[in-house]
Amino acid sequence: MMNEYDAYEETGEDVEYYAVRPNKTQIKKEIAELFALGENLSKLSPAQLNSMELPENIRKAISEVGDMPHKGARKRLLKYIAGQLHKIDVDPVQEKLDRILNKSVHSVREHHITEQWRDKLIHEGNEALTDLFDEQPTADLQHIRQLLRNIKKETETAKPPKSTRLLYRYLKTLFQFDADTELEDEQEGDFPD
């Protein structure tokens, strides 16, 4: 069987090299992704931005673009950021950004779970307390009952909802989710109620 390389060796012709043109669509796609990455980085808090370990020029430009109105200068600065990001390996940056965004999604979910339990305990009383203890056997039932009595008194006397806030805080500490456990649960498709 003869392939094209064998044919070249037999004929002895000179080799001609052609320049391979870069794929313009792929280049535009990469630039758009870097532009979007710069936009997402500009939405981070200063503490989150500092944790990204970016070069000083990029970090400074991103902190400046966060305060700018959505006009032409902002777009030019984002193009500059995209150009600078093109010069570095952005995979670790994207990975850290994904972790930060994922963490905030989980915190919102935890907040909703905690609120639901608080409201359930206030409105359903002992039935909800039994359900809570079934799910969280480490819960301090005596403390929760005391808070529920205080909530009832505060509601009757129209006082500020101090005990409601204390119950929320207690439930939030009780429902602190371990990040590794959450990731395992999501991979298995099992979410907490």
| Domains of the chain listed by start with CATH number | 24-91 (no CATH), 102-175 (1.10.60.30)
Do 52 and 44 form a contact (C-beta atoms < 8 A)?
yes
Q: Cα 99 to the chain's mean position, in Å?
A: 5
Q: How high is the pLDDT of residue 159?
A: 85
173: pLDDT confidence band, cut at 50, 70 and 90? confident
Q: Is 26 left (phi over 0), alpha (psi -120 to 50) or beta?
A: alpha
Q: How high is the pLDDT of residue 80?
A: 92
Question: How many C-beta atoms lie closer than 10 Å to residue 111's C-beta?
Answer: 13
Say if residue 185's pLDDT is above 70: no
- Helix, strand or coil for residue 63? helix
193: pLDDT confidence band, cut at 50, 70 and 90? very low
Q: How high is the pLDDT of residue 191?
A: 45
77: pLDDT confidence band, cut at 50, 70 and 90? very high
pTM (2 decimals)?
0.49
Higher-confidence residue of 3 and 94: namely 94
Do 53 and 62 form a contact (C-beta atoms < 8 A)?
no
Place of tokens 């989150």: 48
Q: How high is the pLDDT of residue 47?
A: 85
Q: Which of 86, 103, 85, 8 is nearest to 42 (CA)?
A: 85
